[in-house]
Amino acid sequence: MKTAVKVMVICLAAVCGISPGVGAEADPERTLSPYFFIESEDASMDRFPLRSTEVEVDISGVIAEVTVRQRYTNDGNSPIHAKYIFPASTRASVHGMVMTIGERVITAKIKEKEAARQTYEAAKKEGKSASLLEQQRPNVFSMEVANILPGDVVDIELRYTELLTPTDGTYEFVYPTVVGPRYSNMPEAGSPRSELWVKNPYLKQGDDPKTEFDITVNLSTGMPLQEVSCKTHDTDIEYRSASSARLFLSRPEDFGGDRDFILHFRLADKQIASGLLLHEGESENFFLLMVQPPERVRPADIPDREYIFVVDVSGSMNGFPLNTAKDLLRDLIGGLRAADTFNVVLFAGGSTLMSPHSLPATPANIHQAIGVIDRQRGGGGTELLKAINRALALPRDEHRSRSLLIVTDGYIHAEREVFEAIQENLDRTNVFAFGIGSSVNRFLIEGMARSGQGEPFVVTGPEDAASVAGRFREYVSAPVLTDIQVEMSEFETFDIEPPAVPDVFAQRPVILFGKWRGDRTGAITLTGMSGEGEYRKTFSVAETDPLPVNEPLRYLWARTRIGRLSDFNPQKGDPENRAEILTLGLTYNLLTAYTSFVAVDEVVRNPEDKGEDVKQPLPLPEGVSNLAVGGSVNRVPEPDLILLAILAAGMMLRVHSRRNRKRV
């Protein structure tokens, strides 16, 4: 009988697209892919403890200070331990966390990651309320809150800083709201804890959101504003002066937490806040140099190019992302010069190559490529690494400059292997990354571009495709500034980031962070070669006053160094790298891959150590279909197995009855 029930359960699970969960025999082939949330039969359990996220952004000049407030509640009848996965900017310097329970306010401490985990687990077991903030990726965090008792309201406040860098005179601030489902073929059994976040529940497309989202931006630029806009959300703008404004959601009750919040603003006459910023601290001094590059001059003689388009046609790209990719590729391929060559690699679970070698950009070949792309519908997994390796292995003409253009939403979890493959081919290939979708994996998109010393591009909607394609063609045609050198005259600096300044392709400023000591004298001079000849810019140190408002420079410098050592570095796991990243995190109170924030309320509130672990289900990003989770399996709680067996038995009896009627 037990065997029969088990068979019926498995059969019904296969029909319904679900699989037995806790208490059932473990499937050694089950991967870490995400799954759809299934409502529990336990009505006493609150499965949606995160009630709201409120974000307040203060932008002063080129520095954004962001405060994120997450409210957790327990409307059930039993204690719970909540876990929530959420995104952040890849440039975020997270430097503070506070937990509030009623009248008690607990400031979190930064600790080595494993020590913080042990502190949290001990408090959880002792019945104390506690919270733990960990970095899973540079742009993916996890929050765990232990011992939320029935009726509790727990507020968690995070603070981070980031630098805003303009492109073509336009500043952009991005607040990601949701982590998209990550395709993974890594077996769940034996996976390290650092990868388990990938297996997270999602609500199905069209399901009502279970949380609230609101955001307010206070903008103070110090220079007259020309334009402030937000195309991703309906917003209202209050101008307080020529250089300051307040922007907020028009209808926060209309859920906006399923797509990136993107703010653009421009200063009058396309100015940028270039110059030198200084900060004098108690033990260290920091500087930031931001230099506007010269206007782009297009050289008359552009070398012949080879373009390889690597296009994601997996399940998560179905619908708007893939349709946008098609439009984008038609525009890009259709705009190639006759002297250029190109190829197309389409990938999902496997990959398809248009030609064993790149083809001339003739009208016939372009027509063929567009036809290949148009026939795609989207489905399957996302094996990006295999597709990149296949593209890099194509025969290469040494007299052509090869560029790899990767188009994807980035919903994979094996990012570092991709970065490593790109870095190993830097001497042979330029890499440009296009992210398409309302909530792309920016860590992957930006990481691929940085690993290849290229520029990332993100298309958030169909209306952006043509303009982004135009910017890409202009971007890759020729660099703005080459052979860049920085000279310090009578100004003692050290620990400069980045150590070397690469060629500038886009109309973006050159940025240098560093420390300084001694007298505030001398000058900093930046030189380079532009299309019109030598370029030179000098900044006087003595004429620049250190300001208290520049204190975030210490976090920005440390985060920049951590990013170089960790985020996009395949050697991240080396002991020397790990030690330096750990020291930076502890010294500057920053969340890193090896440091975490932990807060513990010392009051024992759940002495019987009762409570259930609850993962907060996430909404699918706007425009992403259920196919993004199609390759995964969904867990069913143990008590539901009996119900499944009954349903399966009923189905089998109905089938048997129909067969008997046919015989009669």
Task: State whether 177 and 34 are in the same domain.
Answer: yes
Do 532 and 602 belong to one domain?
no
Q: Find the CATH number of the domain harbouring 55.
A: 2.60.40
Q: Is residue 291, in this structure, part of any structural domain at all?
A: no
Q: In this structure, are residues 205 and 626 in contact, taking their beta carbons and an 8 Å threshold? A: yes
Between 205-214, 593-602, 613-622, 646-655, the lowest mean confidence (pLDDT) is in 646-655
Domain count, the chain: 3
Q: Which of 120-134, 431-445, 642-656 has the lowest mean pLDDT?
A: 642-656
Residues sharing a CB contact under 8 Å with residue 445, sequence separation 6 or more, in sequence order: 408, 410, 433, 434, 435, 456, 458
Residue 471 lies inside a defined structural domain of this protein: yes
Question: 3-state class of 483 per DSSP?
Answer: strand
Residues 470 and 499 in one domain: no
My answer on whether 447 and 487 are in the same domain is: no
Whether 180 and 110 map to the same domain: the answer is: yes
- 533 in a structural domain: yes
Judge whether 620 lies within some domain: no
pLDDT (tens digit per residue) in 104-157? 999 999 999 999 999 999 999 999 999 999 999 888 999 999 999 999 999 999
Res 647: pLDDT: 44
Say if 569 falls within a structural domain: no
Per residue in 5-61, pLDDT tens? 444 444 444 334 343 433 334 566 788 888 888 776 566 667 899 999 999 999 999
Same domain, 68 and 182: yes
**60 and 177 part of one domain:** yes
* Beta bridge mates, 279: 286
CA angle 193, 438, 327 (to 5 degrees): 125
Phi, psi (degrees; rounded to nearest 5) at 626: -60, -20
- 401 and 506 in a single domain? The answer is no
pLDDT for res 352: 87
Of 471, 481, 485, nearest to 505 (Cα)? 481
Q: How confident is the model at residue 478 (pLDDT cuts 50, 70, 90)?
A: low
Please classify residue 20 by burial: count the beta carbons closer than 10 Å to its beta carbon, then call 0-12 exposed, 13-18 middle and 19+ buried.
buried
Could you tell me if 350 and 262 lie in one domain? no
Q: For residue 410, what are the contacts with CB-CB under 8 A and spacing of at least 6?
A: 180, 435, 440, 441, 442, 443, 444, 445
On whether residue 588 sits in a domain, the answer given is no
> Does residue 640 have a pLDDT over 70?
no
> Does residue 414 form part of some domain?
yes
Which domain-ending residue is among 448, 477, 506?
Answer: 477
Q: Which of 477, 508, 531 is the last residue of a domain?
A: 477
| CATH number of 391's domain | 3.40.50.410
Domain co-membership, 487 together with 452: no
Is there a single domain that holds both residue 33 and residue 122?
A: yes
Cβ-based neighbour number of residue 582 at 10 Å:
16
- ω into 498 cis (within 30 of 0): yes
Residue 255 backbone dihedrals phi, psi, to 5 degrees = -55, 125
Strand partners, 534: 529
Q: Are residues 350 and 404 in the same domain?
A: yes
Residue 295 lies in a domain: no
Domain boundary, last residue among 425, 449, 477: 477
Reported as a single tens digit per residue, the pLDDT across 382-422 is 789 999 999 999 998 877 778 888 989 888 777 878 888 88
Buried b vs exposed e over 590-627: b needs ≥16 C-beta within 10 Å? bbbbbbbbbbbbeeebbeeeebbebbbbbbbbbbbbbb
Domain of residue 62 covers 23-267+594-615
